[in-house]
Structure 1
Amino acid sequence: MTRNWTPLAVVYLVVAVAGLVGTWTYNAIAIAQGNDFIGDLVSSGPAVSSITTDLLVVAVAGSTLIVVESRRLGMRFAWAYILGSALTAFAFTFPLWLAMRERRLAARRAEADSVGA
């Protein structure tokens, strides 16, 4: 179970958990208060709209990277990370994908080392 968990993969996993806890803490508060979550994102002024646009563009670029890099590395279920971001947060799924990518790269290095030995 601990195979291919490089230090970088662990860092990405910790960031993923922080992203999940951080975003869902505020999501829970918004739900408990009965806020219009989507309306608040786009109508609370230019600063919030700027941040929303910024994060949306990063999410689109990151989702593209997930698809392209997953195909290149032979990682399955890339779509699950993108769908998961809509259900949880991109701040969770993107670093989670980075952790799994790092594990895949470590596994490929280990395979190459065993073939070369």
Structure 2
Amino acid sequence: MTRTWTRHWTPLAIIYLSLAVAGLIGTWWFNALAITQMNNFIGDLVSSGPAVSSITVDLLVVAIAGCVFIIVEARRLRMRFGWLYVAASGLTAFAFTFPLFLAMRERRLTLLARAVE
């Protein structure tokens, strides 16, 4: 007997979920490294030279645009708790929550497409 939740995991959703796991592990590894070395995390982001500051601004703008997309798309698709992905990005990392949202969005789109059939 096939469980109903397994039918909605498309290859694209699995790719997004894999990226979410990689984002979580990668960012938390370096965060833990910064904490154990007692680095000034925020200070390093903005004062380690123009290249690091450029990347920081670049990723910050992308993260803000992604947060707007998450809220708008979650509402459009009637996904519950869309705001939770944005809030969780502050506790984990946007590199985790954004691909996770994309995986759940893909599952939702698959569910909606199959409901029409």
TM-score > 0.5 by shorter chain: yes
Residue in structure 1 matched with residue 106 of structure 2 by the alignment: 102
Residue in structure 2 matched with residue 22 of structure 1 by the alignment: 26
Normalised to the residue count of structure 1, the TM-score between the two structures is: 0.95
Confirm or deny that 1:56 pairs with 2:60. yes
TM superposition shift of 1:73 = 0.2
Return the alpha-carbon distance in structure 1 between the equivalents of residues 113 and 42 of structure 2.
44
Return the alpha-carbon distance in structure 2 between the equivalents of residues 92 and 107 of structure 1.
23
SS at the partner of 1:59?
Answer: helix
SS at the partner of 1:102?
Answer: helix
* One-letter amino acid of the structure 1 residue matched with residue 81 of structure 2: F
Residue in structure 2 matched with residue 6 of structure 1 by the alignment: 10
Uncovered stretches (5+) of structure 2, i.e. residues with no partner: none
Residue in structure 1 matched with residue 50 of structure 2 by the alignment: 46
For the aligned residues, what is the CA RMSD?
A: 0.6
TM superposition shift of 1:2 = 1.1
Normalised to the residue count of structure 2, the TM-score between the two structures is: 0.95
SS at the partner of 1:3?
Answer: helix
Confirm or deny that 1:112 pairs with 2:116. yes
Return the alpha-carbon distance in structure 1 between the equivalents of residues 38 and 7 of structure 2.
44
Uncovered stretches (5+) of structure 1, i.e. residues with no partner: none
Residue in structure 2 matched with residue 87 of structure 1 by the alignment: 91
Return the alpha-carbon distance in structure 2 between the equivalents of residues 80 and 87 of structure 1.
11
TM superposition outliers: structure 1 runs of 4+ over 6 Å: none
Identity %: 68
Q: How many residues align?
A: 113
* CA displacement, residues 53-110 of structure 1 (integer Å, 9 cap, x when unaligned): 0000000000000000100000011111001111111000000000000000000011
Confirm or deny that 1:71 pairs with 2:57. no
SS at the partner of 2:80?
Answer: coil
Confirm or deny that 1:34 pairs with 2:38. yes
